């Protein structure tokens, strides 16, 4: 009896899981489907399911100058993430494996920079950018995004560094390694999956960032989220075009995430101790 | 090859109530000697080893390796190799790269590195595992890789921090013999830390017993066993532990039940602590010279049986070694005799120090 009830419960759980999963993925599927519709089919109420698929929306988007925005997004995302890693890895090392008296204060300070809502800082940031002549400039976004992601990245990487066995670092020191060698040839390979996860988070946050971008950029340095807003016009919504643009905007993140997940689960630190 | 000398070396952990983890250690490890540092947990044995490695500061005193004062040198400049309890292998490197790492850092030519690694792998029976990652090895194999990583460097000193405590009992005994044999063959000065006194007794040329950061005695295993310098060493070395009883002195003798034991030297106070090893006592027939023991527990180990009991008329507990084939029963009263009064150790109950015949 109990086995039967368990099996029944198991099936119910499976069905429930599927329903929840579909509920979550439905908007994404709807976006994909809509992006292949003609604008007329996309705007019907009730929605049409039978339609002739077309790539018209994608060509329209490309004609409306999507590629420069895509390039801006890619450039800003990659460079700000690299900047975060460049600054964050040594910081995370210092705050985890070489602590001093003020370490916890430094960590607290990092966290506190995330407590101020971005909107509260946007006017000073705008004025500063303007005075520096950095408005509508990708480099301004790179610096801001790096600053935005750095505290979180340091905290994340610190937690991975803390899991590195102390004896392994000592073994490397006895083996004759100086600090940079210890860091780059012993510690980093072991925490690589953690660094990859951190980088992925930074990529996603930079790629999807909207508020700084919409306020500080225009035609020159605009990123993909800024481009998407262009479809919300006074003449109405262009659902099919918006969906096509949104699909193109989310594809890179999905691809990066899919590639990264295989690397992320690799438990490299297994076997280090015992 | 080199000798290692601690000269009044101390490690003091700062803080409100600072802790002297190692307190004024004076110890000289001879060239090619295998010295075992032993003590209970918290005795400072690992700290003492790590001071020699340069992983722990020397706050007072000095440490020299060979003729060089290394007190404030970083680990890499001390010409030492260390084997850690957790092995501390590099998980992202193959066995070959783990062993070659230090040689690469030293800038040794690739062809030489290959030869050295192969040689060490051959010595440790690791040749077939050279291209594996540590996680694909068993505990014993990982331990051997950790040894190999130390050997390839041909250092002047090996430092080993409880390298066997992660192995199961059978493998531990086997590896214990292998490490001892390897050390004799390489004749490299070795300091070996363990909390296991069997390891200490079987492996070391000399054994240094530490307690609360203070060196208690450093001597050959035989000497430690036969003439422990104080009550702590007497109780720590030997398994099961030595029987230690504090008894009143009466006319230059103490009484163990009906048995009178004459002291080899006059006692300073009215009491002495006497120590008798379980094998110095034996079960005899009723009526013979000796004392009565109420049996409370019998541990049968096959060849021997250890009889735990209470001295009749006292609260004192005693352990006696008996023949494993004819052990007494629980609750029985047995007659116990002392094999030889010369095997009785006498200590001052105040200072804990040994009182000798002269």
Q: Report pLDDT digits (tens) over B14-27.
A: 887 888 999 999 99
Q: Are residues A103 and A215 in the same domain?
A: yes
Q: Are residues B311 and B207 in the same domain?
A: no
Q: Given CB atoms, is B351 within the 8 Å cutoff of chain A? A: no
Q: Given CB atoms, is B19 within the 8 Å cutoff of chain A? A: no
Q: Indicate if the pLDDT at residue B285 is higher than 80.
A: yes
Condensed to tens digits (0 to 9), the pLDDT of residues B323-346 reads 888 888 888 899 999 988 888 999
Q: Given CB atoms, is A100 within the 8 Å cutoff of chain B? A: no
Q: Are residues A181 and A254 in the same domain?
A: yes
**pLDDT of amino acid A263:** 63
- State the DSSP H helix or E strand holding residue B309, giving kind and residue range, or none if neither: strand B304-311
Q: Are residues B135 and B49 in the same domain?
A: yes
- Nearest-by-CA chain A residue for B152: A175
Give A-chain residues touching B101 at CB under 8 angstroms.
172, 175, 177
Condensed to tens digits (0 to 9), the pLDDT of residues B187-234 reads 999 999 999 988 999 999 999 999 999 999 999 999 999 999 999 999
- Nearest-by-CA chain B residue for A167: B88
Q: Are residues B324 and B265 in the same domain?
A: yes
Phi, psi dihedral angles at B19 (to 5 degrees):
-110, 130
Residue A41 lies in a domain: no
Q: Are residues A71 and A190 in the same domain?
A: yes
Domain assignment of residue A90, given as a range: 58-264
Nearest to B115 by CA among B75, B152, B76, B157: B152
Choose, out of B46, B65, B78, B88, the residue to mutate when testing the contact with A (most A CBs < 10 Å): B88
Span between the terminal Cα atoms of chain A, in Å: 44
Give B-chain residues touching A184 at CB under 8 angstroms.
none
Q: Do A170 and B102 touch (CB under 8 A)?
A: no
Which residues lie below 8 Å from residue A70, measured CB to CB, with a gap of 6+? A224, A248
Chain B closest-CA separation from residue A98 CA (Å): 14
Rg (CA), chain A: 24
Q: Are residues A14 and A90 in the same domain?
A: no
Helices and strands (H, E) in chain B, number of each type: 8, 20
Q: Are residues B208 and B274 in the same domain?
A: no
Which of B34-48, B236-250, B272-286, B311-325 is least confident? Answer: B311-325
Choose, out of B101, B104, B136, the residue to mutate when testing the contact with A (most A CBs < 10 Å): B101
Q: Do B88 and A173 touch (CB under 8 A)?
A: no
Domain assignment of residue B78, given as a range: 4-228
Cβ contact B144:B157 at 8 Å:
no
Q: Are residues B42 and B178 in the same domain?
A: yes
Q: Are residues B60 and B189 in the same domain?
A: yes
Give B-chain residues touching A175 at CB under 8 angstroms.
76, 101-102, 105, 149, 153
Residue B106 lies in a domain: yes
Q: Are residues A9 and A115 in the same domain?
A: no
Domain count, chain B: 2
**pLDDT of amino acid B273:** 92
- Nearest-by-CA chain A residue for B132: A271
Q: Are residues B166 and B252 in the same domain?
A: no
Q: Given CB atoms, is A272 within the 8 Å cutoff of chain B? A: yes
**pLDDT of amino acid B226:** 93
Residue A47 lies in a domain: no
Give me the CATH number covering residue B259.
2.40.50.140
Distances A117 to A148, A152, A156, B258, B312 between C-alpha atoms, Å: 11, 15, 21, 87, 81
Q: Are residues B117 and B155 in the same domain?
A: yes
Q: Do A271 and B53 touch (CB under 8 A)?
A: no
Phi, psi dihedral angles at B343 (to 5 degrees):
-90, 10
Mean pLDDT of B123-132: 93
Nearest to A58 by CA among A249, A253, A267: A249
Q: Indicate if the pLDDT at residue B93 is higher than 90.
A: yes
Q: Are residues A155 and A257 in the same domain?
A: yes
Q: Do A271 and B87 touch (CB under 8 A)?
A: no
Q: Are residues B335 and B197 in the same domain?
A: no
Chain A closest-CA separation from residue B246 CA (Å): 44
Q: Given CB atoms, is B53 within the 8 Å cutoff of chain A? A: yes
Give A-chain residues touching B139 at CB under 8 angstroms.
274
Q: Are residues A145 and A85 in the same domain?
A: yes
Which residue of B85, B106, B133 is in closest CB contact with A176?
B106
Q: Do B88 and A178 touch (CB under 8 A)?
A: no
CB contacts < 8 A, A to B, total: 86
- Nearest-by-CA chain B residue for A273: B86
Mean pLDDT of B249-278: 86
Q: Are residues A22 and A102 in the same domain?
A: no
Total residue length of chain B: 358
Q: Structure pTM?
A: 0.81
Which of B144-148, B162-166, B185-189, B311-315 is least confident? Answer: B311-315
Omega before B240 within 30 of 0, i.e. cis: yes
Q: Do B82 and A170 touch (CB under 8 A)?
A: yes
Of B228, B250, B266, the residue at which a domain comes to its end is: B228
Q: Do B91 and A171 touch (CB under 8 A)?
A: no
Mean residue pLDDT of chain B comes to 92
Total residue length of chain A: 274
Q: Indicate if the pLDDT at residue B312 is higher than 80.
A: no
Residue B164 lies in a domain: yes
Domain count, chain A: 2
Q: Do B136 and A271 touch (CB under 8 A)?
A: yes
Q: Given CB atoms, is A170 within the 8 Å cutoff of chain B? A: yes
Q: Are residues B48 and B108 in the same domain?
A: yes
- Nearest-by-CA chain B residue for A175: B102
Omega before A46 within 30 of 0, i.e. cis: yes
Mean residue pLDDT of chain A comes to 87
Alpha-carbon gap, residue B294 to B309, rounded angstroms: 5
Q: Are residues A108 and A192 in the same domain?
A: yes
Give B-chain residues touching A160 at CB under 8 angstroms.
none
Q: Are residues A133 and A254 in the same domain?
A: yes
Give me the CATH number covering residue A256.
1.10.3720.10
Q: Are residues B224 and B264 in the same domain?
A: no
Condensed to tens digits (0 to 9), the pLDDT of residues A43-77 reads 777 877 778 888 888 998 888 889 999 999 999 99
**pLDDT of amino acid A8:** 79
Both tokens of A167, joined, read: 């004896």
Q: Are residues B191 and B283 in the same domain?
A: no
Give A-chain residues touching B86 at CB under 8 angstroms.
165, 167, 272-274
Q: Are residues A164 and A214 in the same domain?
A: yes
**pLDDT of amino acid A214:** 92
Q: Which residues of chain A have pLDDT under 50?
A: 1, 267-274
Which residue of B53, B86, B134 is in closest CB contact with A174?
B53
């Amino acid at each position: 009896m109990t086995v039967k009830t368990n099996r029944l419960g198991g099936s119910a759980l499976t069905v429930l899981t599927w329903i929840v999963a579909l509920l979550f993925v439905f908007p994404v599927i709807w976006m994909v489907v809509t992006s292949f519709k003609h604008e007329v089919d996309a705007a019907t109420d009730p929605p049409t399911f039978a339609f002739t698929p077309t790539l018209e929306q994608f060509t329209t988007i490309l004609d409306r100058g999507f590629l420069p925005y895509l390039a801006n997004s890619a450039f800003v995302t990659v460079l700000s993430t690299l900047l975060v890693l460049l600054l964050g890895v040594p910081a995370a090392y210092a705050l985890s494996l070489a602590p001093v008296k003020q370490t916890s204060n430094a960590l607290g300070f990092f966290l506190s920079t995330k407590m101020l809502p971005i909107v509260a800082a946007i006017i000073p940031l705008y004025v500063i950018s303007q005075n520096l002549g950095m408005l509508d400039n990708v480099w301004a976004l790179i610096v801001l995004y790096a600053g935005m992601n750095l505290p979180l990245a340091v905290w994340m990487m610190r937690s991975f560094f803390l899991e590195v066995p102390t004896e392994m670092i000592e073994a490397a020191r006895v083996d004759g390694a100086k600090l940079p060698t210890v860091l780059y040839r012993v510690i980093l390979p072991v925490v690589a999956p953690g660094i990859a996860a951190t980088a992925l988070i930074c990529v996603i946050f930079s790629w999807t960032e909207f508020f700084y971008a919409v306020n500080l950029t225009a035609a020159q340095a605009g990123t993909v989220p800024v481009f998407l807003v262009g479809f919300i016009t006074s003449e109405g919504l262009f659902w099919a075009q918006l969906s096509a643009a949104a699909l193109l905007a989310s594809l890179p993140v999905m691809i990066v995430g899919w590639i990264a997940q295989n690397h992320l689960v690799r438990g490299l630190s297994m076997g280090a101790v015992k | 090859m080199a000798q290692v000398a601690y000269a009044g070396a101390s490690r003091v952990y700062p803080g409100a109530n600072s802790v002297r983890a190692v307190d004024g250690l004076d110890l000289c490890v001879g060239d090619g000697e295998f010295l075992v540092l032993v003590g209970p947990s918290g005795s400072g044995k690992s700290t003492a080893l790590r001071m020699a490695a340069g992983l722990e500061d020397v706050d007072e005193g000095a440490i020299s390796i060979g003729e060089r004062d290394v007190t404030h040198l970083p680990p890499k400049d001390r010409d030492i190799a260390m084997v850690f309890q957790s092995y501390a292998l590099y998980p992202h490197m193959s066995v070959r790269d783990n062993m070659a790492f230090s040689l690469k850092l030293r800038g040794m030519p690739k062809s030489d590195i290959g030869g050295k690694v192969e040689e060490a792998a051959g010595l440790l029976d690791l040749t077939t595992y050279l291209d594996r990652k540590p996680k694909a090895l068993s505990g014993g194999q990982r331990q051997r890789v950790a040894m190999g990583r130390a050997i390839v460097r041909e250092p002047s000193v090996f430092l080993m921090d409880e390298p066997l405590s992660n192995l199961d009992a059978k493998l531990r005994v086997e590896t214990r013999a292998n490490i001892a044999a390897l050390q004799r063959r390489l004749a490299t000065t070795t300091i070996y830390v363990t909390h296991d006194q069997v390891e200490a007794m079987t492996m070391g040329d000399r054994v240094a017993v530490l307690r609360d950061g203070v060196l208690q005695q450093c001597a050959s295993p035989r000497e430690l066993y036969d003439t422990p310098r104080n009550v702590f060493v007497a109780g720590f070395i030997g398994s099961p532990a030595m029987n230690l009883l504090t008894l009143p002195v009466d006319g230059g003798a103490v009484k163990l039940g009906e048995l009178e034991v004459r002291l080899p030297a006059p006692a300073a106070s009215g009491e002495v602590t006497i120590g008798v090893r379980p094998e110095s006592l034996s079960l005899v027939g009723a009526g013979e010279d000796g004392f009565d023991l109420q049996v409370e527990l019998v541990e049968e180990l096959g060849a021997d049986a250890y009889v735990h009991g209470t001295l009749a008329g006292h609260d004192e507990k005693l352990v006696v070694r008996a023949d494993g084939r004819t052990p007494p029963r629980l609750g029985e009263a047995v007659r116990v005799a002392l094999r030889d009064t010369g095997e009785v150790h006498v200590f001052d109950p105040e200072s804990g120090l040994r009182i000798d015949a002269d």
